[in-house]
Amino acid sequence: MSSTFRTNVFLPTSILKFVVKDDDDSQKIDCKRFLSQAYTSQVLEIICLLYPYVKFSDEARDDHVLLKKIFLEIVAPQLSTLIIPTALKPDQDYFQASINIPAFGTYEFEMLITPGIEINAHRISEFNYLILCYLRNGQHRIAAHNLTGFVKTYKYLNKIELSTLDSAYQDTLEGLHEAVGFVQSSHHDIEGIGFLLSESELSPSHRQGLQLCLERGKEKLKSCQEIFERIVADVGFVQALVDYYQKLPLTSRIDDMETLSASSKPIFKFNGMREGLMKSVDKMMSRGFNKKQLVKLQQNVKKQSDNKPNTPTRPGNLSRPRICLLEEMSKKDCDTIRQALHCHCPQLWIPIKVATSQPMLLSLYKAFILYEEEPNLRRGVHYDIFPINALNLDGYIDV
């Protein structure tokens, strides 16, 4: 992987009215005058144009004080390095400005800005140049060495920095999968040549050609195995690096936007746990699914959404559906029934075979929601649901 360097940026032409001449007769943008006159949306637009990987929460988008601080901390220094073009096309909404000193692509990992977050431009820049740059280039040991000094300086890694380390680990896993494919392909070629050589009716020239291919295949296999061993060692090293920094004491991993008082609140109250489960219903619907099943379920959801437009549901935004009679619920599709089950009974873990069976879902709905004589069924007890044929209990549930 190679580092990316930014050499130019697009800006709205409206910012040109804030361009002034410097002492050396060069043009630059007067950031203070821009901030004194710009609307919140204009400040946000400039930040997003220079740092497209920075994401803002809905509250942060309207926080003019926060946006102004971010602008002064990380945007203003970048704007001072821009080379403003002298000639522009008429009626042009945006223009391309070159960066005088090409800079490493800061914020190449997604960063979510929320109200109250602490922005430390020097810390971000140092992490990018001393750690992120080497992680992207696969020089993980240099990054680890620099990370030691970084933690000594700042005392902890925040969530974004920890997420960056985990992303580097995922990248090494992708490289490992590719290396496995190369080794497997080499073995396949060698074994295939071996089968051909076992044929008794081969001509001498053909046999000689196969022998040559076999020797080359073994050389290729040896090379692939050496690469594989290096990548395996690299994966192990990065995994150990991630584990080490994730297991540091909690006070060493507090995120910039968090406080110790917030983390010390009691979390073991039953009602709070139940509310948390219900808010996480969207996440729980995919718990216990393997990759193949998730892909299948995703394709099914996409197919349905193509036929009927639907607003994407985020965890915590799912409203609790009303409890209706079994006859009315039997007219609903599987997703609607499963959604009702997860909202009212978040302790249910429903696998794909049950999740796609309307009779099974209706039986669960009847037993866990409509069957009022057993309230304990919905009082925090955990249930793993399996298909009837898997349990060999035919007739136990009415289907």
Confidence category of residue 293, pLDDT binned at 50, 70, 90: low
Measure the CA–CA gap between 296 and 299, rounded to whole angstroms: 5
Asked whether 141 and 237 are in contact (CB, 8 A), the reply is yes
- What's phi and psi for 324, nearest 5 deg? -120, 170
- What's phi and psi for 249, nearest 5 deg? -55, 150
Mean pLDDT of 91-97: 81
Higher pLDDT, 22 or 246: 246
Q: What is the pLDDT of residue 336?
A: 83
For the chain, give every domain's residue range: 5-119, 120-265, 270-391
DSSP result, 21-72: E-TTS-EEE-HHHHHHH--HHHHHHHHHHH-TTEEE-HHHHT-HHHHHHHII
Average pLDDT for the chain: 73
Residue 120 host element (H or E): none
- The answer to whether residue 3 scores a pLDDT higher than 50 is no
Measure the CA–CA gap between 70 and 73, rounded to whole angstroms: 5
Higher pLDDT, 233 or 277: 233
Three-state SS string over 341-355 comes to: HHHHCCCEECCHHHH
pLDDT tens for 295-307 read 666 666 566 656 6
Scanning the chain, the segments in alpha helix (DSSP H) are: 31-37, 40-50, 58-61, 64-70, 76-79, 121-127, 133-136, 140-154, 159-197, 204-246, 260-263, 270-279, 281-284, 291-307, 326-329, 334-344, 352-355, 358-365, 388-391
Higher pLDDT, 32 or 90: 32
Q: What is the pLDDT of residue 389?
A: 44
Mean pLDDT of 339-362: 75
Question: Which letter does DSSP use for residue 319 in this model?
Answer: P
How far is the CA of 257 from the CAs of 158, 164, 165, in angstroms? 9, 17, 19
Q: What angle do CA 180, 185, 187 make, to 5 degrees?
A: 95
What is the C-alpha radius of gyration for the chain, rounded to an integer number of angstroms? 30
pLDDT tens for 222-252 read 998 998 999 999 999 999 999 998 887 644 4
Count Cβ atoms below 10 Å from residue 204 Cβ, excluding itself.
Answer: 7
Nearest to 129 by CA among 110, 113, 108, 112: 108
Confidence category of residue 191, pLDDT binned at 50, 70, 90: very high
Measure the CA–CA gap between 73 and 54, rounded to whole angstroms: 14
Question: Which letter does DSSP use for residue 17 in this model?
Answer: G
pLDDT tens for 374-395 read 444 444 444 445 444 443 333 3
pLDDT above 90 covers a percentage of the chain that reads 12
Confidence category of residue 104, pLDDT binned at 50, 70, 90: very low
pTM check: above 0.85: no
Question: Which letter does DSSP use for residue 323 in this model?
Answer: P
Confidence category of residue 338, pLDDT binned at 50, 70, 90: confident
- The answer to whether residue 276 scores a pLDDT higher than 60 is no
- The answer to whether residue 195 scores a pLDDT higher than 70 is yes
Q: What angle do CA 164, 170, 176 make, to 5 degrees?
A: 145
Among 44-53, 135-144, 310-319, name the one with the lowest average pLDDT.
310-319
